[in-house]
Structure 1
Amino acid sequence: AESPGNAPLDSAVSPISPEEKSSFDQAKAASTSGNAEVALPSFEQFVLKFPNSALLPDVYAELGGLYSKRGEMKRAVEALKTVLDRFPRHPRADEARLQLSEVYLMLGDLKGTMGLWEDLPGQESAKMLVYEQVAQAYLDRNELLEGIQVLMKKKGLMVDPVANNAVREAVVSIVKDKLQEKDLQSVVKQYGASFPADEALIRLIGLYDRRGDYYREEREIKHFLSGFPNHLFTGEARQLVGQIREKIKTQRYLIGVALPLSGRLAPFGNNALNGIQLALQQFKESLPGASVGLVVRDLDEDGKRSQEILAEWLDDFRPIAMIGPLLSKEVDRIAPVAEKADLAMITPGATAARLSSLGKSVFRNAMTARFQCHAIAEYAVAQMNLKRFAVLFPKETSGAEWLKCFSEEVSRLGGEIVHAEPYPVSETDFTATIRRLKEADLKKNGVVEIVQEGRRKREVAYSPGFDAVFLPGDADKAGLMIPQLVFHNIKDIPLLGTSGWNTPEFLKLVGPYAEGATFIDGFFAGSTDPMVRKFVGQYRAKFQQEPDLFAAQAFDAARLVLAALEGGALTPREVKAALAKTKDFQGVSGLVSEIRDGEVLKKPILIQVQKGKLVQVN
């Protein structure tokens, strides 16, 4: 029970009266004898009768213990927190803190437990006991990173070198035996150039070496040598980094990989690299003993973006083909180097229309805006028999490009754009945009039914003069706009979109208002296709994350090169020729019908909202 008094913390209180002492002693005696049925109401009545008593800290501490024993944890927390909040300097405050820690631990509130002690000066013995309990609880829940963090706090309190080393060894054991790649990277990021980042780096180096991921192995060795130059492992690390080049060259055939792996686009570049590595793994599983490897270059490391350095790299390793880069401007830079080396270069991400003019060495396995416009227009006009379209597009260059390519594709198929309305990129309330669309539509083919209600007119029905609405752009904009379209009576007509919709946030934003909405993408992780399911399952197991479009497109790009190699193409020129002749190649990013002028032509992936879930419909 909470005291109605709101006196300042540890404020002066009245002397204890005989009545107060008698009431307290009786309740305490009942508690000591185990008679909680008498003790609890007695203490609760004490709080109500003597709201400013000097004995209140003792009463609340007793109540906390009694509630805890009865399993009334919420009331136990309230009572014990009252001791700490109102009487932090009382002799029983430390006891209450320990009791509250035990209650939080029983409730599984480990953060609450830590919050009682982290900013408290002194009390090292109590802290170490609690930290040990919390760390073990985290480890029992397999929350290993949190367990390490708490153990490191405990280690920081321990002055006895033997005990300190015991905690250190416990942390080392977790890092060496239990952490997966992603968690190891988190440890490195959190602890920088101090323990246990060194142990995490050593583990990562070994992991990448066994995997044959020599780019990442070399990266982590350099990281280790920079942060731990005097470490016992330093000599071995220097030996390992000196062996990497020769390890790469032991493979008879190399595939070059040139991606952004450390800068702004590193998450996408690393996902693409993961996809390539998985393709090679599958290839080697199907052909044991195949002498094929990767040689990887981080484009972000070359600040000058020098063609000469890239040419030297290609001349040194002599790959049979190259996968990358992701950006169109990087393809512009690298294409002349690839063309001069007569080396096929497959980009899994660049989307600029000009790529086909850069030479016969440039190939693209990436989804362009034109591809999406063609696919969604083909679906809408040819399959759904829709003819008239409204477009709501962001007022920016990409929005105008979406409008242009969709309009051209619709017109080619015999349809028409009846109205296109731009909206500011920063917009979240689309009322004005939707009203402009409706006003323009009502001047043409739209019909509205309005009823008079007193002095007000109310729209009761609106029949649009268009068959569907095309909403190019990101999930956050489309997700906000679709419910607002329904609010303004634009409903029960098809909604069409682009790959930007394919995020978990989209379904959360649209709620129940996007049933039947359809969009295009180049990859769908939820596909029931056996090849896609195998790819997604292996990717998750290997990298502890979901594959994205770049991972899928890079995976297929690598498989195209490996298929050429398996088919007998053993030189860069032969691989390039084999790629150009590709027909009917099944990939996780779509069925490739052919490769024409370097462009990988494939069947689009149509995704639709059905009963609140995304489903592939083709």
Structure 2
Amino acid sequence: RIRELANGTSDKKALEQLRSTFPRSFPGDLASLRLIDLYIGRGEDHQAIRQIQQFLVNFPTHPQEAKTSELLATLQAKQKSNQFFIAVVLPLSGKLAPFAGEVLSGIQLAVEANRDRAGSPSVGLIVKDLESDPATFLDEFSELLDTDRPLAVIGPLLSKNLPVMAELAERAHIPLITPAATFPNVRRLGNYVFNTALTYELQAKRIASYAIKEQGFRRFCILHPDTTYGRELARLFAQEVRQHEGEVIAVESYKEGEVDMSGQLKRMKAEDLNRYGLSVPVDQTKLTGKLTKLDKKVFYTPGFDAIFIPGRAADAGIITAQLNFHDMKVPFLGANGWNSPDFARTDDSSIDGAVFVDGFFVDSHTPTVQDFVARYKRRFETSPTLFSTQGYDAAKLVLDAVRKEASSGEAVRDYLLTQPDLSSLAGPAAFGPDGTLNRPLFLIQIKRGRFLQVN
């Protein structure tokens, strides 16, 4: 029964779980062999090679050892037939594996599109799991750079892995493009380091530009979570506001999951009343009916134009309702932590009209995004994410360089450094002096339970 299930299923997650539970015994061997078949059937040769290598280590005397070794040799020969390579170094196992898988899917889509394009040089992938053996990773990464000489390396996900990888890439004269790290100014790590991630600075600049230049807002309050994400976005947003001669009236923080914001909102209101806010007493004698504790004794009019809330969607919904209760009925601005369908569908009308920024919008009306989403869904049977698009952009930019006759790491780096009109998924882009890819971001508005693109 187990043999039939393992051989017949196409559920990759179930097979991986079975293999992890029985790494060196039955039915883990069957799960591994089935995964190999699935990867080959999907054209994911690099994944099949990794799976075969792991299988041969775990089952050196298995009846399928000879056949599997022969298959490995065939796939490796096929890999070597490519004219150029892009190396992908991501945590494909461990807790970050789902995010790494999304990045890898975006990279694969770009490489496959290049393969289908007539006259394009043949570019293959070399995929390495950063988490497979941390003790030997640096030696293996050095060998990859020196022996395989990829045109570029896409990775890592985390900022903490960047410095040492950047040093090795710099020494080898091979571009290192992180698709997810929020490390500020990667160029400090070397001239071969690039970043296609959505950074805090990009978000802050775009939402501040929208508020000040497009909406004419001048005065702001900020309410942020006491996390790295919240603190950095709050700091950078305030910096942008002041650079545009705007004013930040008050800044307050909260703990994620906190449900009562009355203390923060009272302090914010008091600060505003000291500057621009208006408080007008209500003439109780003119109120009809029986008075209750809920009847307002003063009418408060905020002196600020909008409030920036760079937190999670779950917290933002609670906060906006309380802001309305405290008469702080101003436009709400947010960051990409708001991009949750459940947030848009909330019954609370207090968030209607709120606007936030993100690096990707799956329902965008931009033609290139619509085409990407359609191709991604056909290929992987799921919707792409921000991680998918950042991996896609990283690979596509390298492939564009190859089509412009770049044939070495140095040539790819020069192309990325000097081109003022690179083609990203969201539109024209260019790498800034800090190594970050400056490209159009998406402004998304919550309207009647739906997300709508503003720009």
The answer to whether the superposition gives a TM-score over 0.5 is yes
Match of 1:565 among 377, 402, 421: 402
Counterpart secondary structure, 1:301:
coil
Over 3 Å counting, the alpha-carbon distance change for 1:192 and 1:505 in structure 2 is farther
8 Å CA contact retained: 2:130, 2:137? no
8 Å CA contact retained: 1:332, 1:358? yes
Give, as a single letter, the amino acid of the residue that structure 2 aligns with 1:524.
F
C-alpha deviation, 1:198, in angstroms: 4.6
Work out whether 1:503 is the aligned partner of 2:340: yes
Cα distance per residue 1:93-147 (max 9 Å; x no partner): xxxxxxxxxxxxxxxxxxxxxxxxxxxxxxxxxxxxxxxxxxxxxxxxxxxxxxx
Q: Which residues in structure 2 correspond to 1:506-585 (within 5 Å)?
A: 506-509=343-346, 511-585=348-422
8 Å CA contact retained: 1:209, 1:217? yes
C-alpha deviation, 1:403, in angstroms: 2.2
Where does residue 35 of structure 2 map in the other structure?
A: 204
Where does residue 431 of structure 2 map in the other structure?
A: 595
Give, as a single letter, the amino acid of the residue that structure 2 aligns with 1:502.
N
Q: Which residues in structure 2 correspond to 1:416-565 (within 5 Å)?
A: 416-449=247-280, 451=282, 452=284, 454=291, 456=293, 458-459=295-296, 461-491=299-329, 493-509=330-346, 511-565=348-402
Could you tell me how far apart the structure 2 residues matched to 1:305 and 1:515 are? 52
Could you tell me how far apart the structure 2 residues matched to 1:373 and 1:382 are? 14
Q: What is the number of equivalent residue pairs in this alignment?
A: 447
Where does residue 287 of structure 2 map in the other structure?
A: none
Counterpart secondary structure, 1:300:
coil
Cα distance per residue 1:407-448 (max 9 Å; x no partner): 110011121001111223341222222222223323332224
8 Å CA contact retained: 2:6, 2:34? no
Match of 2:49 among 201, 218, 222: 218
Work out whether 1:236 is the aligned partner of 2:33: no
Where does residue 78 of structure 2 map in the other structure?
A: 247
8 Å CA contact retained: 1:322, 1:343? yes
Q: Which residues in structure 2 correspond to 1:325-344 (within 5 Å)?
A: 325-344=156-175
C-alpha deviation, 1:370, in angstroms: 1.2
8 Å CA contact retained: 2:360, 2:389? yes
Give, as a single letter, the amino acid of the residue that structure 1 aligns with 2:367.
P
Q: Pick the structure with more helix per residue.
A: 1
Over 3 Å counting, the alpha-carbon distance change for 1:203 and 1:309 in structure 2 is closer
C-alpha deviation, 1:264, in angstroms: 2.4
Over 3 Å counting, the alpha-carbon distance change for 1:613 and 1:190 in structure 2 is farther
Match of 1:412 among 243, 247, 252: 243
Aligned-pair Cα RMSD in Å = 2.6
Worse-superposed segment, 344-353 or 407-416 = 344-353
Cα distance per residue 1:166-214 (max 9 Å; x no partner): xx65x46743xxx354565466567777776654433321232344423
Cα distance per residue 1:519-546 (max 9 Å; x no partner): 1111111112222122222222322332
Give, as a single letter, the amino acid of the residue that structure 2 aligns with 1:591.
G
8 Å CA contact retained: 1:479, 1:510? no
Counterpart secondary structure, 1:263:
coil
Could you tell me how far apart the structure 2 residues matched to 1:291 and 1:368 are? 32
Could you tell me how far apart the structure 2 residues matched to 1:305 and 1:269 are? 20
Cα distance per residue 1:337-392 (max 9 Å; x no partner): 11111111111111222412122101111121111111111110000000100111
8 Å CA contact retained: 2:88, 2:154? yes
C-alpha deviation, 1:502, in angstroms: 0.9
Which ranges in structure 1 are unaligned for 5 or more consecutive residues?
Answer: 1-151, 156-167
8 Å CA contact retained: 1:392, 1:423? yes
Cα distance per residue 1:218-257 (max 9 Å; x no partner): 3322454466666543332233334544332221100111
Where does residue 371 of structure 1 map in the other structure?
A: 202
Q: Which has the higher contact order (CA 8 A, sep 6+)?
A: 2
Over 3 Å counting, the alpha-carbon distance change for 1:305 and 1:268 in structure 2 is farther
Where does residue 92 of structure 1 map in the other structure?
A: none
Counterpart secondary structure, 2:356:
strand
Could you tell me how far apart the structure 2 residues matched to 1:333 and 1:510 are? 48
Over 3 Å counting, the alpha-carbon distance change for 1:370 and 1:302 in structure 2 is same
Give, as a single letter, the amino acid of the residue that structure 2 aligns with 1:564.
A
Could you tell me how far apart the structure 2 residues matched to 1:172 and 1:373 are? 49
Could you tell me how far apart the structure 2 residues matched to 1:298 and 1:187 are? 20
Aligned-pair identity in percent equals 38
Could you tell me how far apart the structure 1 residues matched to 2:318 and 2:70 are? 56
Give, as a single letter, the amino acid of the residue that structure 2 aligns with 1:611.
R
Where does residue 115 of structure 2 map in the other structure?
A: 284
Counterpart secondary structure, 2:337:
helix
Where does residue 401 of structure 1 map in the other structure?
A: 232
Over 3 Å counting, the alpha-carbon distance change for 1:172 and 1:376 in structure 2 is closer
C-alpha deviation, 1:574, in angstroms: 1.2
Give, as a single letter, the amino acid of the residue that structure 1 aligns with 2:358.
D
Could you tell me how far apart the structure 1 residues matched to 2:154 and 2:184 are? 19
Where does residue 140 of structure 2 map in the other structure?
A: 309
Give, as a single letter, the amino acid of the residue that structure 2 aligns with 1:421.
E
Could you tell me how far apart the structure 1 residues matched to 2:22 and 2:373 are? 32
Give, as a single letter, the amino acid of the residue that structure 2 aligns with 1:596.
G
Over 3 Å counting, the alpha-carbon distance change for 1:439 and 1:264 in structure 2 is same
Over 3 Å counting, the alpha-carbon distance change for 1:607 and 1:251 in structure 2 is same
Could you tell me how far apart the structure 1 residues matched to 2:214 and 2:136 are? 46
Counterpart secondary structure, 2:88:
strand
8 Å CA contact retained: 1:450, 1:458? no
Work out whether 1:357 is the aligned partner of 2:188: yes
Q: Which residues in structure 2 correspond to 1:42-61 (within 5 Å)?
A: none
Q: Which residues in structure 2 correspond to 1:68-87 (within 5 Å)?
A: none
Counterpart secondary structure, 2:93:
coil
Worse-superposed segment, 209-218 or 510-519 = 209-218
Q: Which residues in structure 2 correspond to 1:383-402 (within 5 Å)?
A: 383-402=214-233
Could you tell me how far apart the structure 2 residues matched to 1:613 and 1:344 are? 40
Which ranges in structure 2 are unaligned for 5 or more consecutive residues?
Answer: 285-289
Could you tell me how far apart the structure 2 residues matched to 1:367 and 1:323 are? 15
8 Å CA contact retained: 2:249, 2:271? no
C-alpha deviation, 1:582, in angstroms: 2.3
TM-score of the two chains, using structure 2 as the length reference:
0.89
C-alpha deviation, 1:308, in angstroms: 3.7
Over 3 Å counting, the alpha-carbon distance change for 1:586 and 1:461 in structure 2 is farther
C-alpha deviation, 1:587, in angstroms: 2.2
Could you tell me how far apart the structure 2 residues matched to 1:251 and 1:208 are? 19
Q: Which residues in structure 2 correspond to 1:4-19 (within 5 Å)?
A: none
C-alpha deviation, 1:272, in angstroms: 0.7
Q: Which structure's CA Rg is the greater one?
A: 1
